[in-house]
Amino acid sequence: MVCCRAVAHSLIWAGVAELSALRRQPGRLRAGTSPVPLLRHADDQTVVGLAAVLLAIEGSDLDADRFSPWGLVAAPRFPGRARLAAAFAQYAVDGAWGVSPHLVPHDSLHSMAGTISQALKLFGPNLGAGGKSDGAREAFLAAMALLGDGRLPGVWVVATGWVPELVPGRPGVVPAEPGPPRHQCWGVALALAMPHPDWRGPTMRFGVGGGHPREPGAPFDAIALEEWLAVPSDEGRPPRHAYWSLGEGVWIELEEVGRPAGPAMQGERS
Instruction: State the pTM of this model.
Output: 0.85
Across 5-14, 59-68, 167-176, which has the greatest mean pLDDT? 5-14
C-alpha to C-alpha distance for 183 and 174, rounded to whole angstroms: 17
Burial class (CB in 10 A: 0-12, 13-18, 19+), 210: exposed
Structurally, what CATH architecture does the domain formed by 2-193 represent? 3-Layer(aba) Sandwich (3.40)
For the stretch 125-171, pLDDT in tens is 999 999 888 899 999 999 999 999 899 999 999 999 999 887 776 44
Mean pLDDT over all residues of the chain? 83
Q: Are 133 and 77 in contact (CB under 8 A)?
A: yes
Q: Where are the domains of the chain?
A: 2-193
| Phi and psi based region of residue 209 (left: phi greater than 0; alpha: psi -120 to 50; beta: remaining) | left
